[in-house]
Chains A and B, each alone.
Chain A
Amino acid sequence: MITFKNVSKRYPDGYIALNNVDLAVEPGEMVFLTGHSGAGKSTLLKLIAAIERPTSGVIAISGQNIAQLKPAAIPYLRRKIGFIFQDHKLLFDRNVFENVLLPLQISNFDNNTAASRARAALDKVSLLKREKVMPITLSGGERQRLCIARAIVHRPTILIADEPTGNLDVDYARDIMAMFRSFNQVGVTVLIATHDASLLEDTQHRILSLKQGKLAA
């Protein structure tokens, strides 16, 4: 599903975020990505969604080399992916429902289908009762769930989460991990970056560890 071959990313200031990374994630797999902050976790995730482009190497998503993707093709790649951003990236001038609707409007869904899908996504993260409120009034955990709803509403094949439990207390974090597992169980490939060791204690899923831009064995 996701393959990295000799992928390096060097920023214009000379900082090397990723150094010759090889990686393969199978379809339907759930994988954790750990490492200290600055180890290159976010960069790796951004490379998958073509938010950053690699300096060298090959990145294949479903067999498509995205390192050489034309700019006009990038939106269609991103529609296959649900991305949960570290800084949420919610629209604060739209209510909860409209935030979740956005990916569907972008993908040209008709209004009725879009509305029912958005409500279904909100239901999955238990935010249906709050669809009319503005995101500013939501708690941290609720905002995180709103991000998840927005990431899954267009039914992506790949779900990527960057520090999804960042500032949440343990109970909230457990809820959110349960959600990811349930998405994985219906066939979604899930990739979660986290530095939260407590999340990884009793997991049977594969754990990839990044250290200074290199993947540890």
Chain B
Amino acid sequence: MIRAWLMQHGFVFFHTLKRLASSPVTALLSITVMGIALSLPTGIYVLMENLQSVSGQIASSPQISLFLKQDAKKEDVDKVQQRLKEVSQIVNYQFIPKDVALTQLQQNSGTTDIAANLAHNPLPDAFIVHTREHTSDSLEQLRLAIQSWPEIAHVQFDSAWIDRLNALLKLGRSVVLMLATLLSIAIIAIMFNTIRLQILTKRDEIEISKLIGATDSFIRRPFLYFGAIQGVSGGITAWLIIMLGIDELNRELTPLTQLYDFNIQLQYLSLQDSISLLLFSAWLGWLGARISVANHLWQIEPK
């Protein structure tokens, strides 16, 4: 019985493939439409994943600048250095004496004139500290702790850009979600209509099948297979579009990364994301077919 059931499903599966192959242009067109529709949100998702991993790399060691008081002595610098060693959240630090800071300022093209006209060095000694902390809350706590040291005049860290980036990523995520929702509905609608037309052309077959004892699930099966197969084909198309797109962008990025001397290559869709994409697209096709079948089959009752 189970064997017969499996054979039935196998038969319907291959019969559906044959039916798709029998009208290749129509099939290819709707598969392409579905592929493009799916590739838009998925593409943006991939770009955001990439952006997030890049920002993660940068944000993994946020930078804090400590400015000592103007009159800080050599001993004060040593004391601060000693304290920094004791703080566990600090990965490493770099001391920038005020003379070095001034030299840098003088070499900086835009500020050469200003620096040359200074009567005395207005810059304090400074430390640049890298920490393990990521969130702006924990960074703020660290800042307050350091601020309380007597030798420190000012502590500064730039958390604003992390916040901005996170806000931007959040925005991007909701754009992806909205696009995905809208385009999923569009795909369901396309499938609904495709199946509706098929049901109309197969009216006689459905009616006769019902008359000689076909169950509803038997009649539904080929349409559901059709929806799922077309959906998964759309998913594969979207996957190919994205892979080729990333390939092309990476080719464009190579000279850019050489010019700017940092190495960024866009990551492809992960295996897990690829499987999710295919399963989701199959489900969308199936769902569109299921809704269509539920809406149209009951209208065909044998008389």
Q: Which A residues are CB-close (under 8 A) to B45? A: none
When each residue 2-46 of chain B gets 1 if its CB lies under 8 Å from chain A and 0 otherwise, what string results?
Answer: 011101100100000000000000000000000000000000000
Q: Which A residues are CB-close (under 8 A) to B4? A: 108-110
Q: Which A residues are CB-close (under 8 A) to B7? A: 110-111
Contact stretch, chosen from A83-91, A183-191, A199-207: A83-91
Q: Is B259 an interface residue (CB 8 A)?
A: no
Q: Is A107 an interface residue (CB 8 A)?
A: yes
Contact stretch, chosen from B122-130, B155-163, B186-194, B207-215: B207-215
Chain A stretch 129-168: residues in CB contact (< 8 A) with chain B? 150, 154
Q: Is A76 an interface residue (CB 8 A)?
A: yes
Chain A stretch 58-92: residues in CB contact (< 8 A) with chain B? 72, 75-79, 83, 85, 89-92
Contact A150–B204 (Cβ < 8 Å): no
Given A51-B303, A108-B8, A109-B4, does the pair A102, B209 have CB atoms closer than 8 Å? yes
Contact B205–A78 (Cβ < 8 Å): no
Majority-rule SS of B interface residues:
helix
* Residue from the list A78, A85, A92, A111 in contact with B213, Cβ < 8 A: A78
Contact B213–A79 (Cβ < 8 Å): yes
Given A91-B205, A91-B208, does the pair A107, B1 have CB atoms closer than 8 Å? no
A contacts with B, residue count (CB < 8 A): 26
**What's the least CB distance linking A95 to chain B, in Å?**
14
Central interface residue in B8, B208, B218, B303, by most chain A CB within 10 Å: B208
Contact B3–A110 (Cβ < 8 Å): yes
**Chain B: which residue is nearest A153 at the CB level?**
B212
* Residue from the list B213, B216, B303 in contact with A103, Cβ < 8 A: B213
Q: Could you show 5 A-B contacts with beta carbons less than 8 Å apart?
A: A75-B210, A102-B209, A102-B212, A106-B213, A110-B4
In the A-B complex, list the 10 residue pairs whose CB atoms are closest, starting with the nearest: A78-B213, A79-B213, A106-B214, A75-B213, A110-B4, A75-B215, A108-B4, A103-B212, A89-B208, A106-B213
